[in-house]
């Protein structure tokens, strides 16, 4: 896995213009043993066979690891009201947690450059593969995968930044990078179109080494999320209801199985994950486990950068399996190897969510990009709670009621039925459940922005932190979007800044 350096424009240009080469090299190096001028892996002489087509789409998945590896969750979670930056966190993490960053923040450029690299690789596949003579079913699948991954990248960009440049074809020169921002409606139109095409092109499941690729249900789940983001509750309820009715997915009986390495991708709740398989591909693993564990936790690297905010800890009532020893841990903590772990950083509850105590590597040899802990993009609990929200906000109930969908998630956690009466009470219950269920899973900032409660949540975070960290100021939200990275505005005169920044 390669973590993009947001400050290095040259690297981003290389990722955009020469991404195809990286995809091909990942498949085979044999052709370089006796190189000839015709061996250069330019798009014109690479996309010739079905093997090339699959290699090209594999390159999109590879590029997708980059933005999710680090800066995505800086913005989606650390910048939310769930997380306090500990004394160990660098100044960038402290600014994100306090919402005191500005457009010059390098962190903001990571997802921007990373997701546009994904988009350009997808565009290359979509431009080049149709001309290949190959099995039509496989061709349709490859194009469906490219459309799903492009839609996912654009969905993250439009939710983070609002209006963004809309690039639908392969960028072949630097001139193609100076694109103006397109209105959100145009970006969403492409996202919806891509996902509708992907739903018809992709299979429901895979076998063998193909397990983990995007499925038709992954595309349909993302489409339901897109409709929910647009407040199209009728379409969201219908689309997500189809996932529920299919019977293809179910909640894991054990909540923690969602984060168990040996059950990644193959468990009944998993719909789509970013795969960090450090066992098969050393040096391409994830790092969110290291960032979230308390400092000096036994078994390898543990940085202690983040603390679960106390008010969130208190939201997990006794009996909730997602609470202590689930989402968080409290010092002293006795792990599965009977080691007693104590820490002072962070000063309160630390994250337990991504520590797989059944995994030897997690427990004995953690190190930089060495973990096989995946990043979950979609799981069935999200389908249920999105469906409940869509129905409660006016969408038609399909296979189950909003209350039943909500209670399914609560019951798995060990909680009784919500028994919320009326739309407002049910809305509050759904929002609370989303917060408890998806802590540090890339959901919270997006939820707050969608609900229009981001500023209020950050001001509540300030009030709470003032009690224990009076010298830390948490700023309210100037906008429901992050600022456009200043580094991008500096090199693209066609870009404008979001209001409030």
pLDDT for the residue numbered 467 = 85
Which runs of E-coded beta strand occur in 315-459?
Answer: 328-329, 333-334, 340-341, 350-351, 375-379
158, 134 contact by CB (below 8 A): no
> Which residue in 284, 299, 268 sits closest to 374, CA to CA?
284
DSSP 44-111: HHHTTSHHHHHHHHHHHHHHHHHHHHTHHHIIIIITSSSEEE-TTS-HHHHHHHHT---TT-HHHHHH
6, 67 contact by CB (below 8 A): no
pLDDT for the residue numbered 41 = 52
Distance CA 198, CA 205 (A): 13
- Count of domains for the chain: 1
> Which residue in 42, 66, 27 sits closest to 170, CA to CA?
42
User: What value does the CA radius of gyration of the chain take, rounded to a whole number of Å?
Assistant: 22
Distance CA 395, CA 174 (A): 45
204 domain-assigned: no
Give, for 112, the enclosing helix (H) or strand (E). Answer: helix 106-128
Q: What is the DSSP letter of 475?
A: -
43, 271 contact by CB (below 8 A): no
pLDDT for the residue numbered 46 = 87
Q: What is the DSSP letter of 393?
A: T
Q: List, for residues 18-61, the tens digit of each pLDDT value.
A: 333 333 333 332 222 233 434 445 666 789 999 999 999 999 99
Secondary structure tally for the chain: helices H, strands E: 20, 10
| CB within 8 Å of 343: residues ≥ 6 apart | 294, 295, 296, 297, 304, 331, 350
> Which residue in 103, 102, 91, 95 sits closest to 78, CA to CA?
95
pLDDT for the residue numbered 279 = 79
358 domain-assigned: yes
Q: Which domain covers residue 361, as residue numbers?
A: 288-367
41 domain-assigned: no
C-alpha torsion angle, residues 488, 490, 494, 496 (rounded to 10): 80
87 domain-assigned: no
Has this prediction a pTM greater than 0.85?
Answer: yes
Return the structure tokens found at 366: 């953690």
348 domain-assigned: yes
> Which residue in 406, 430, 426 sits closest to 416, CA to CA?
406
pLDDT for the residue numbered 493 = 93
Burial 91-103 (b: 16+ CB within 10 A, else e): ebbbbbbbbebeb
390 domain-assigned: no
pLDDT for the residue numbered 282 = 79
Average pLDDT per consecutive 10 residues, the chain (501 residues; last block may be shorter): 30 33 34 35 78 97 95 97 96 96 96 97 98 97 98 98 97 80 98 98 96 98 98 98 98 98 97 90 90 96 97 97 98 97 97 97 96 97 98 97 98 97 98 98 98 97 90 94 97 96 96
Distance CA 45, CA 487 (A): 34
Return the structure tokens found at 61: 């998945």
Distance CA 367, CA 370 (A): 5
Distance CA 131, CA 47 (A): 9
pLDDT for the residue numbered 475 = 95
237 domain-assigned: no
27 domain-assigned: no
Distance CA 208, CA 97 (A): 41
Look at the chain and count its residues. 501
């Amino acid at each position: 896995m390669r973590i993009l350096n947001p400050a290095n424009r040259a690297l981003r240009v290389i990722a955009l213009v020469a991404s195809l080469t990286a995809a091909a090299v990942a498949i085979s190096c044999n052709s370089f043993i006796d190189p000839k001028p015709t061996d250069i892996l330019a798009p014109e002489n690479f996309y010739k066979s079905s093997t090339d087509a699959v290699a090209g789409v594999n390159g999109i998945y590879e590029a997708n690891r980059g933005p999710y590896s680090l800066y995505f969750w800086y913005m989606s979670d650390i910048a939310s009201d769930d997380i306090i930056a500990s004394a160990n966190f660098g100044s960038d993490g402290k600014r994100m947690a306090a919402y005191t960053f500005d457009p010059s923040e390098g962190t903001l450029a990571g997802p921007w450059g990373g997701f546009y690299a994904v988009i350009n690789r997808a565009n290359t596949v979509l431009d080049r593969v149709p001309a290949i003579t190959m099995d039509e079913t496989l061709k349709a699948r490859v194009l469906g995968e490219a459309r799903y991954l492009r839609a996912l990248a654009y969905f993250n960009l439009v939710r983070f930044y609002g209006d963004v440049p809309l690039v639908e074809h392969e960028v072949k020169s630097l001139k193609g990078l100076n694109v103006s921002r397109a209105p959100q409606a145009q970006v969403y139109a492409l996202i919806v179109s891509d996902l509708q095409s992907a739903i018809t092109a992709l299979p429901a499941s895979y076998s063998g080494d193909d397990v983990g690729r995007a499925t038709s249900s992954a595309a349909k789940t993302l489409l339901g999320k897109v409709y929910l983001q647009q407040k199209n509750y009728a379409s969201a309820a219908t689309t997500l209801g189809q996932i529920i009715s299919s019977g293809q997915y179910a909640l894991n009986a054990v909540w923690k199985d969602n984060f168990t390495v040996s059950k990644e991708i193959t468990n009944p709740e998993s719909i789509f994950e970013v795969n960090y398989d450090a066992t098969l591909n050393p040096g391409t693993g994830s790092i969110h486990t290291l960032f979230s564990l308390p400092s000096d936790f036994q078994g390898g690297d543990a940085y202690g950068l983040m603390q679960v905010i106390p008010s969130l800890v208190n939201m997990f009532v006794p009996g909730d399996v997602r609470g202590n020893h689930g989402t968080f841990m409290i010092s002293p903590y006795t792990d599965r190897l009977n080691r007693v772990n104590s820490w002072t950083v962070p000063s309160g509850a630390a994250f337990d969510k991504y520590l797989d105590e059944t995994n030897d590597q997690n427990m004995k040899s953690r190190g930089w990009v060495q973990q096989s802990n995946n990043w979950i993009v979609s799981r069935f609990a999200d389908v249920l709670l999105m469906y409940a929200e869509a129905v409660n906000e006016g969408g038609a109930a399909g296979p189950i009621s909003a209350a039943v969908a909500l209670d399914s998630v609560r019951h798995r956690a060990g909680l009784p039925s919500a028994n919320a009466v009326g739309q407002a009470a049910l809305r509050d219950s759904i929002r609370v459940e989303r917060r408890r269920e998806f802590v540090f899973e890339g959901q919270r900032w997006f939820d707050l922005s969608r609900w229009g409660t981001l500023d209020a949540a950050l001001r509540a975070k300030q009030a709470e932190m003032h009690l224990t960290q009076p010298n830390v100021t948490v700023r309210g939200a100037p906008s429901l979007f992050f600022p456009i990275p200043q580094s991008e505005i500096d090199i693209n005169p066609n870009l404008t800044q979001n209001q409030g920044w």
